[in-house]
Amino acid sequence: MTDILKRNNVRVIGEGEQVMMFAHGFGCDQNVWRHLIKVYQYKYTLVVFDFVGSGKSDLAAYDIERYSSLEGYAADVLDIIDALQLREVIFIGHSVSCMSGLRAAILKPQYFSKLVFVAPSPCYLNDGDYVGGLNREDLDSLFEMMDANYLGWSSSMAPLIMGNAHMPELGEELTANFCATDPDIARKFARVTFFSDNRADLAKLSVPSLTLQCLDDILAPVEVGYYLNKHTPNNTLVILEATGHCPHLSAHVQTIEAINGYLSNYSKSDARLLSNDIVAEDGL
Amino acid sequence: MQDFYPMISSPKTDFEAFYNQAPCGLFTFRADGTIVHLNKTLLTWLCADAEDVIYHDFTDFLDKGGKLYYQLFVQPLLRMRHDVKEISFHMYTAKCDFHCLFSATAFEKDGDGELLYAATVYKVTDRKKYEDELLKKKQQADIEKEIKEDTLKQVAYDQSHLVRAPLANILGLTALLEGMEVSDEVRDMIDLLRTSAVKLDSEVIKLTDKLTA
User: In the predicted model, is pLDDT for residue A109 greater than 50?
Assistant: yes
Distance from CA of B21 to the nearest CA of A (A): 28
Q: Looking at residues B130-152, what average pLDDT do you find?
A: 89
Q: Looking at residues A8-35, what average pLDDT do you find?
A: 91
Q: What is the pLDDT of residue A165?
A: 46
Domain ranges in chain A are: 4-283
User: In the predicted model, is pLDDT for residue A153 greater than 60?
Assistant: no
- The answer to whether residues B118 and B26 belong to one domain is yes
Query: What is the percent of chain A with per-residue pLDDT over 90, rounded to a whole number?
Result: 59
Distances (CA, A) of A164 to A116, A173, B43, B47, B62: 30, 11, 45, 48, 36
Q: Would you call A166 a catalytic residue per the annotation?
A: no
User: In the predicted model, is pLDDT for residue B1 greater than 60?
Assistant: no
Which residues have CB under 8 Å from B158's CB, separation 6+? none
Q: Which residue has the higher pLDDT, A130 or A2?
A: A130
How many Å apart are CA A114 and CA B163, to the nearest integer?
Answer: 58
Active-site pick, A94, A217, A248, A252: A217
Cβ separation A28–B76 shorter than 8 A: yes
- The answer to whether residues B119 and B20 belong to one domain is yes
Cβ separation B64–A27 shorter than 8 A: no
User: In the predicted model, is pLDDT for residue B2 greater than 70?
Assistant: no
Establish if A31 touches chain B: CB-CB under 8 angstroms: yes
For residue B203, what is the domain's CATH number? 1.10.287
Domain A4-283: homologous superfamily in CATH: Alpha/Beta hydrolase fold, catalytic domain (3.40.50.1820)
Q: How many CB pairs under 8 A join A and B?
A: 79
Establish if A3 touches chain B: CB-CB under 8 angstroms: no
- The answer to whether residues B101 and B15 belong to one domain is yes
User: In the predicted model, is pLDDT for residue A167 greater than 50?
Assistant: no
- The answer to whether residues B179 and B96 belong to one domain is no
Nearest to A248 by CA among A122, A117, A151: A117
- The answer to whether residues B92 and B189 belong to one domain is no
Nearest residue on chain B to A252, alpha-carbon basis: B79
B164 pLDDT band, cuts 50/70/90, is confident
Lowest mean pLDDT among A39-43, A139-143, A246-250, B131-135: B131-135
- The answer to whether residues B55 and B111 belong to one domain is yes
Q: What is the pLDDT of residue B187?
A: 92
Residue B205 forms part of a structural domain: yes
User: In the predicted model, is pLDDT for residue B116 greater than 80?
Assistant: yes
How many Å apart are CA A141 and CA A161, to the nearest integer?
Answer: 28
pLDDT tens, position by position, B188-213: 999 999 999 999 999 988 888 887 77
- The answer to whether residues B21 and B62 belong to one domain is yes
Establish if A226 touches chain B: CB-CB under 8 angstroms: no
Cβ separation B73–A244 shorter than 8 A: no
Residue B5 forms part of a structural domain: no
Please determine, for the modelled complex, whether the ipTM score is greater than 0.90.
no
pLDDT tens, position by position, B50-107: 999 999 999 999 999 999 999 988 888 888 888 888 899 999 999 999 999 999 999 9
Cβ atoms A233, A206 nearer than 8 A: yes
Q: What is the pLDDT of residue B152?
A: 87
pLDDT tens, position by position, A40-75: 999 999 999 999 988 888 888 898 889 999 999 999
How many Å apart are CA B103 and CA B85, to the nearest integer?
Answer: 4
Cβ separation B135–A137 shorter than 8 A: no
Nearest to A96 by CA among A68, A125, A117, A111: A117
User: In the predicted model, is pLDDT for residue A247 greater than 50?
Assistant: yes
Distance from CA of B37 to the nearest CA of A (A): 21
Print the domain residue range for B181. 141-212
What residues of A are in contact with residue B71 (Cβ under 8 Å)?
Answer: 217-219, 244-246
- The answer to whether residues B74 and B114 belong to one domain is yes
Query: What is the percent of chain A with per-residue pLDDT over 70, rounded to a whole number?
Result: 82
Cβ separation B88–A246 shorter than 8 A: no
For residue B89, what is the domain's CATH number? 3.30.450.20
Residue B128 forms part of a structural domain: no
Between residues 241 and 260 of chain A, which touch chain B (CB distance below 8 Å)?
A: 243-246, 249-250
Residue of B31, B63, B71 with shortest CB distance to A219: B71
Residue B55 forms part of a structural domain: yes
- The answer to whether residues B115 and B183 belong to one domain is no
Cβ separation A27–B72 shorter than 8 A: yes
Cβ atoms B73, A179 nearer than 8 A: yes
- The answer to whether residues B86 and B149 belong to one domain is no
Residue B2 forms part of a structural domain: no
Chosen domain end from B92, B123, B154:
B123
Active-site pick, A24, A94, A245, A248: A245
Which residues in B49-71 are b (16+ Cβ under 10 Å) and which e?
eeeebeeebbbebbbbbbbbbbb
User: In the predicted model, is pLDDT for residue A164 greater than 70?
Assistant: no
Q: What is the pLDDT of residue B19?
A: 94
Residue B134 forms part of a structural domain: no
Cβ separation B75–A250 shorter than 8 A: yes
How many Å apart are CA A29 and CA A186, to the nearest integer?
Answer: 12
Active-site pick, A95, A113, A121, A209: A95
Cβ atoms A271, A208 nearer than 8 A: yes
pLDDT tens, position by position, A178-228: 566 777 888 888 889 889 999 999 999 999 999 999 998 989 999 999 999
User: In the predicted model, is pLDDT for residue B146 greater than 50?
Assistant: yes
Nearest residue on chain A to B132, alpha-carbon basis: A148
State the total domains in chain B. 2
Q: Look over chain B and give the mean of its residue pLDDT values, rounded to a whole number.
A: 89
- Chain B residues near any Cβ of chain A (below 8 Å): 31-33, 63-69, 71-73, 75-77, 79-81, 85, 87-89, 131, 135, 139
Which residues have CB under 8 Å from B102's CB, separation 6+? B84, B86, B87, B88, B89, B119, B120, B121
Residue B6 forms part of a structural domain: no
What residues of A are in contact with residue B32 (Cβ under 8 Å)?
Answer: 243
SS3 A91: strand
- The answer to whether residues B118 and B146 belong to one domain is no
Instruction: State which amino acid sits at residue A268.
Output: K
Residue B27 forms part of a structural domain: yes
- The answer to whether residues B95 and B50 belong to one domain is yes
